[in-house]
Amino acid sequence: MRITVLGTGYVGLVTGACLAELGNDVICMDVDLKKIDGLKQGIIPFYEPGLESMVKRNCLADRLRFITDLSQQERPSEVYYVAVGTPSDEEGFADLQYVLAAVRMIGQHIDNYCVIVDKSTVPVGVADKVQAAVREELKNRGLDQLSFDVVSNPEFLKEGAAIEDFMKPDRLVVGYPTDKAKEVMSQLYAPIIRAHGGKILYMSVKDAEMSKYAVNAMLAARISFMNEMAMICEKLGVDVDNVRLGIGSDSRIGEKFLFPGCGYGGSCFPKDVKALVGMAKDQGIEPIILQAVETRNALQKHVLAEKVRRVLGNDLSGITIAVWGLAFKPETDDMREASSQVFIDDVIKAGARVRAYDPVAQNSARRTFPEHYFSSGHLQILDDQYAALEEAELLVILTEWKSFLYPNLTLLTSTLRQKIIIDGRNIYDPAEMQQHGFLYSGIGRGVSLD
């Protein structure tokens, strides 16, 4: 099929590259000239395992091309994916200006039936606005009778495993308005279903739009629930890791997304929970559970700084803290809503200096934190995880990268000024760390710093 993807961010670029890998003729369009020039040279603007080689391979095969304007297409496509950003506005609602600008652009260029696929996370009912915006552009061109369909096909990609999720999905959700649109989407995804199984869940467009928000809100709720359980466990001297196993072994619940930590981040959970809260309030519904999810997550991001202050005192002036992990999760360089931002802000405001290491997110972090943190010497980002330990009183774990799982305990002992580890992701065994002489505190592991 001829496919155009509008937006070369995380979702757009992964979608375009994977569709090209399936043999389609794909064009990715973005108004960011610098980004498009980089992509033409094989430069990927973010880190995702396997994506760079896939993009280069399909560009060489001429199945994947990059443009900055739809007028650069040789001919209109059969399917248009809209994968532009929908950031939260001041009230928590999804900002639709980029979506509507993108679909207006489509309306200015199509001259044959096509399916417009909303891949961006949008509130319920946005497909109607997309339909109206495209119809208005067609009317301006005198093409009132040209038919098209708007489909909702929300993405459920996990950063760090996006290609696997796209190519081997456990399910695809497709909200369709007509049988013709359903047939197009069936043909498009048939190679994936044939090769790897899975299923396509067909439903109304509004049902599909709501599904995306509901999934992310449920996963966020599980994380916040476990974080709250961890806080209770810590006070009672209970190891939440064993509690997690007890909960997860119940077939009605399952074991995924039950790992407590120092708060969730990224581009989806925080934004989508906020948007769902906004949608509920807009309908006169008080979203008690969703607001509690947000509140617990916000509080959780301050827990590690509180632990540091309990060990070293409220005034951290002259104290150096080592940090391992900056990205919001492993296998990505995404710093959006990362717990590291809150922790580093907290301890620097208390006077501390931070020496941080992340295997992938160094450059993203340098762009994320305020410049005065670096110029004042309060924040250094190192290229070696053990160099980050130098001059540090203690080590704080913020991201569960695999390279942190089995540390060189000899180097840890000889480099840290005090044998203290505060583990925000529970990657170490408390008993083992205590056996090696470390004061160790995780999240709800039943070990009190008092």
Instruction: Answer yes or no: do 402 and 273 share one domain.
Output: no
The last residue of a domain, from among 152, 185, 203: 203
CATH number at residue 222: 1.10.1040.10
pLDDT by residue (tens digit) across 263-301? Answer: 999 988 998 999 899 899 989 999 999 999 999 999 999
Residue 182 falls inside a structural domain = yes
In this structure, what is the dihedral angle of CA atoms 81, 83, 86, 87, given to the nearest 10 degrees?
180
- Positions annotated as catalytic residues are 268
Structure tokens, 288: 């008690």
pLDDT the model gives residue 94: 76
Residue 363 falls inside a structural domain = yes
Instruction: Answer yes or no: do 235 and 272 share one domain.
Output: yes
Instruction: Answer yes or no: do 168 and 273 share one domain.
Output: no
Instruction: Answer yes or no: do 197 and 216 share one domain.
Output: no
> Considering the chain, what percentage of its residues have pLDDT values greater than 70?
99
The last residue of a domain, from among 155, 176, 203: 203
Residue 446 falls inside a structural domain = no
Residue 449 falls inside a structural domain = no
> Considering the chain, what percentage of its residues have pLDDT values greater than 90?
89
Residue with tokens 């059969």, as numbered in its chain? 78
Instruction: Answer yes or no: do 235 and 267 share one domain.
Output: yes
pLDDT the model gives residue 138: 96
Flag whether pLDDT at 103 surpasses 90. Answer: yes
pLDDT the model gives residue 95: 80
Flag whether pLDDT at 438 surpasses 80. Answer: yes
**Angle formed by the axes of helices 126-140 and 97-107, nearest 10°:** 40
pLDDT the model gives residue 86: 82
CATH number at residue 395: 3.40.50.720
Name the domain count of the chain: 3
Instruction: Answer yes or no: do 226 and 367 share one domain.
Output: no
Residue 174 falls inside a structural domain = yes
Q: Please tell me the pTM assigned to this model.
A: 0.89
Structure tokens, 313: 């005192």
Residues of the domain holding 407: 301-441
Instruction: Answer yes or no: do 158 and 54 share one domain.
Output: yes
Question: What does the DSSP assignment read for 69-88?
Answer: SGGGSSS--SEEEE-----B
pLDDT by residue (tens digit) across 159-169? Answer: 999 999 999 99
pLDDT confidence band for 123 (50 / 70 / 90): confident
Instruction: Answer yes or no: do 124 and 57 share one domain.
Output: yes
Cβ proximity of 202 and 182 under 8 Å: yes
Mean pLDDT score across all residues of the chain: 94
Tell me which H or E stretch contains 33: helix 33-40
Arithmetic mean of pLDDT, 326-336: 95
The last residue of a domain, from among 256, 274, 298: 298
Flag whether pLDDT at 370 surpasses 70. Answer: yes
pLDDT the model gives residue 237: 92
Instruction: Answer yes or no: do 282 and 189 share one domain.
Output: no
Residue 447 falls inside a structural domain = no
Flag whether pLDDT at 450 surpasses 70. Answer: no
Residue 122 falls inside a structural domain = yes
**Cα-based distances in Å from 96 to 9, 120, 402:** 16, 10, 37
d(CA 123, CA 100): 13
Residue 422 falls inside a structural domain = yes
Instruction: Answer yes or no: do 40 and 185 share one domain.
Output: yes
Instruction: Answer yes or no: do 161 and 27 share one domain.
Output: yes
Instruction: Answer yes or no: do 380 and 336 share one domain.
Output: yes
